[in-house]
Amino acid sequence: MSTSALRLDVVLPIFNEAGTLAASVRALHATMEELMDFPHWQITIADNASTDESAAIAIQLANDLPRIRLVLLPEKGRGGALKEAWLTSKADVVAYMDIDLSTDLRALPPLVAPLLSGHSDIAIGSRLAHGSRVVRGAKREALSRGYNMLLHGVLGVSFSDAQCGFKAMTSKSARALLPLVKDNAWFFDTEFLVLAERAGLRIAEVPVDWMDDPVSSVNIGSTVRQDLRGVTRLSWNLARNRIPLSDVTEQLGRKPLVQGTSLPFQLVHFAIVGVASTIVFSLLYYLLQFVLTPQSANFIALAISAVFNTMVNRHVTFGVRDRSSAERHLLQGLLVFATTWLLTSGALALVHTSAGNVDPQRDLIVLTIANIFATVLRFVAFRFMFHPEPPHTTNRECRLTRLELLSA
């Protein structure tokens, strides 16, 4: 990176922050002058449709202090403000932090260091990483941990804290990734992190000291609803391969993460999917047994739950997202389904033969137990089916390589 070019742009997204804006900007400005070991940085105030005196105060700050940029947006939305400010910045690295400065500013240099060096593409402050020190109420602590557990379970992410307002990324990564991010509000952070990880970008985490703002204007209920809708939308689009992440990989020159996941990860996620599949099967069988024979109800319920189980495990548990192998995996999944159907049907037939009558509640218990055994069998089969094939070299390639060595 050039030493004369703008290296770092720290964005402060604001909405009706007239009471704290001046003090926070002056504090950040003074801290950056003290901590940054290079002069080529600036602070951008991104006002997203404030209705108080925030814009006027921001203009005054830009006149009073050097290296202050102002972006005025007509529409409200923190994500939209960040997207606009980051994409129009001329800095090598763009960052942002919440205007309340809840995060200790001494974490800023280690946050941007791996990006300025070229080691990483994105860096995030984490309140849940080892070494972080956090002061906040029990309610927000529980919500934060619960939300990140949801992301780990549903989207299979590896980063620890999606919503800490202390992040940075290279401008090259921003230009490639942010056009794919649809949310312009609070889910913006989660969405660009999930997409970045799926595209193979390297994400660095920095433990932070963080103190909750007791007068925060964030509406927790509304934010939770927005995040849940965002998780649902993003999960669906990723499962359907509707997001062109390969374009991001090509632009940034990084290969995507190696297909496949670790055994502990697979066990945890397969168990979660297995519980969900068992619940789906049990509910379907309970409803269908009143209109169909036990064997027919079992077949239909098992078929539907097996399709659900196979598709979710393929994408989430085993990390297979290549469309070229989808048909082969579908056929293999049908064979696994047939095996598990024989297992559960055999259990049901054995109970009917030994008992001599049909008892819906007893049949449900027997089939649920048999389905658990079938799930174990399915896991073993799936590990074999979805195991990524190692790259191999053809005989022709081997011959060409030997000829090249001989002629060298």
pLDDT tens across the length of the chain (408 residues): 444 589 999 999 999 999 999 999 999 999 999 999 899 999 999 999 999 999 999 999 999 999 999 999 999 999 999 999 999 999 999 999 999 999 999 999 999 999 999 999 999 999 999 999 999 888 888 888 889 888 887 787 889 999 999 999 999 999 999 999 999 999 999 999 999 998 989 999 999 999 987 656 566 778 888 998 999 999 888 877 889 998 898 888 766 554 455 677 788 888 888 888 888 888 998 899 888 898 888 888 878 887 787 777 877 787 776 666 666 776 787 788 788 778 878 888 888 888 877 677 888 888 788 878 877 887 888 877 776 544 443 343 334 333 333 444
The pLDDT score that the predictor gives to residue 131 is 92
DSSP 117: T
Residues in the chain: 408
Pairing mode, strands 122-126 and 166-170: antiparallel
First to last CA, the chain: 37
C-alpha to C-alpha distances, 61 to 16, 27, 176, 258, 356, nearest whole angstrom: 16, 12, 32, 47, 85
**Contact present, 339 and 377 (Cβ < 8 Å):** yes
Task: Report the largest interatomic distance among the alpha carbons of the chain, rounded to a whole angstrom.
Answer: 90
Sign of CA dihedral 169, 172, 178, 180: negative
| Residue among 264, 360, 344, 262 nearest 305 (CA) | 344
Beta bridge partners of 72: 47
CB burial of 360-375 (b: ≥16 within 10 Å; e: otherwise) equals eeebbebbeebbeebb
Q: 236: which residues sit within 8 A by CB, 6+ positions away?
A: none
Q: Print burial letters for 172-187: b (CB count within 10 Å at least 16), e (below 16).
A: ebbebbbebbebbbbb
Neighbours of 14 (CB within 10 A): 24
Domain spans, the chain: 8-252, 263-385
Angle subtended at Cα 189 by Cα 185 and Cα 190, rounded to the nearest 5 degrees: 110
CA 262 to chain CA mean position, Å: 17
Q: Are 122 and 168 in contact (CB under 8 A)?
A: yes
The residue behind tokens 């056929």 is 331
Catalytic residues: 189
Give the DSSP letter string of 25-37: HHHHHHHHHHH-S
For residues 45, 219, 104, 63, the Cα torsion angle rounded to the nearest 10 degrees is: 20
pLDDT for 260 equals 52
The tokens 């500013």 sit on which residue?
Answer: 105
Which uninterrupted H or E stretch holds 9? strand 8-14
277's tokens? 């599949």
Q: Tell me the CATH number of domain 8-252, given options 3.90.550.10, 3.40.50.2000, 3.40.640.10, 2.40.180.10.
A: 3.90.550.10
Please, what is the Cα angle at 26 between 21 and 32, to 5 degrees?
A: 125
Using alpha carbons, select from 286, 213, 199 the residue that is nearest to residue 243. 199
Nearest-CA neighbor of 38 among 125, 113, 121? 113
For residue 316, which of 122, 128, 145, 158 has the smallest C-alpha distance? Answer: 158
Are the CB atoms for 281 and 302 separated by under 8 Å? Answer: yes
> Which tokens is 37 given?
């070991």
Flag whether the pTM goes above 0.85: no
Q: Which amino acid is at 290?
A: F
Tokens at 270, concatenated: 């397969």
Closest to 388 measured CA to CA, from 204, 236, 197, 256: 256
- Residues with Cβ within 8 Å of 69's Cβ and at least 6 positions away in sequence, in order, are 9, 42, 43, 44, 45, 62, 89
Look up residue 36 and give its two tokens: 């940054």
Rounded Cα–Cα distance for residues 303 and 367 (Å): 14
